[in-house]
Amino acid sequence: MAAGNIETTTSPRSGTAWRKRPSAPTADPVIAPARISLRGVSKTFAGRHGSVEALSSVSLSIGAGEFVSIIGPSGCGKSTLLMLVAGLEPATGGTIDIGGKLITKPTSDLGIVFQQDVLLEWRSALDNILLQCQIRGLDVAGARDRARELLAMVGIDGFASSYPHELSGGMRQRVSICRALVHDPPLLLMDEPFGALDALTRDQLQIDLLRLWSRRRMTVLFITHSISEAIFLSDRIVVMSPRPGRIEDVITVDLPRPRRLAVRETPEFIAYVRRVTEVFKSLGVLRDEDP
């Protein structure tokens, strides 16, 4: 969301309206972040044993510069929704627009980070990042300094010349994040990017990601299975039902920024964990009855 604007929306579960407070202004913004609008979006896949409805009537508006996480059980259509927003899959029904542009085919004005880093083993960390610019026909020489700046922001500037096999899993994922951001996209899509990492590395990458987001303030759509990760990172959390995926609740995370790991120990954070957990209990996704 642009600083100084206040948006109002309604939780589809509770019917309660909320007002999103303006983000703190950032100095020297480098991009104009994207606004995303999904209206009645559905997706059905055809299979050998009949059709599978992955998503049903998903409607959501995401403000420019907002960090929104989507959380839900496996198979609820979270990753499918990300692919639809990127234009990599066509929607069966409904419409998606980004910045007022209707998405009907793959769009290049964004960055994507997947769970696997998909780095090219024969290219150094720096050259893997610059591959983004080469593919897009951008000025590689001019992007080199920006790539080094991104590596420094995630704490691995000393490994610019290292090859992927010389890097840890967390380092490799940092490189993939830098690659997704080197061309200053207004929108960053992230599909469970930290899911395969150990807990300590995951914590550090969450901090690194928030640092990058606060500096560049792009719009972020983040897919996760982790309740605490979604709360720690997000302005809002979209809670999905089991397949076919529907929006069950939209929760505003009213925790101050910048956030530190210690916020996870506060009563406010724990209350958000409890709220998301209760939604999943009501859906039968989580069950903690006596054996």
Q: Provide the pLDDT confidence category of residue 291 given band limits of 50, 70 and 90.
A: low
Contact 172, 164 (CB under 8 A): yes
In this prediction, residue 29 carries a pLDDT of: 41
- pLDDT tens-place string over residues 18-53: 444 444 433 444 457 889 999 999 999 987 778 899
Residue type, 241: S
Contact 266, 260 (CB under 8 A): no
- Looking at the predicted structure, is the pLDDT value of residue 184 above 50? yes
Contact 98, 35 (CB under 8 A): yes
User: Angle formed by the axes of helices 199-216 and 169-181, to 10°?
Assistant: 20
DSSP letter, residue 23: P
Across 28-37, 135-144, 171-180, 214-223, least confident range: 28-37
In this prediction, residues 219-224 reach a mean pLDDT of 97
Count the alpha carbons within 13 Å of 103 in the hemisphere toward its beta carbon. Answer: 31
At a CB cut-off of 8 Å and minimum separation 6, what does 105 contact?
87
Structure tokens at 267: 């009563």
Structure tokens at 202: 């995951």
Cα–Cα distance for residue pair 279/70, rounded to 1 Å: 14
Q: Which domains does the chain have, with CATH numbers?
A: 31-109+221-291 (3.40.50.300)
Local structure of 209: helix, strand or coil: helix
- pLDDT tens-place string over residues 84-125: 999 999 999 999 999 889 999 988 889 999 988 999 999 999
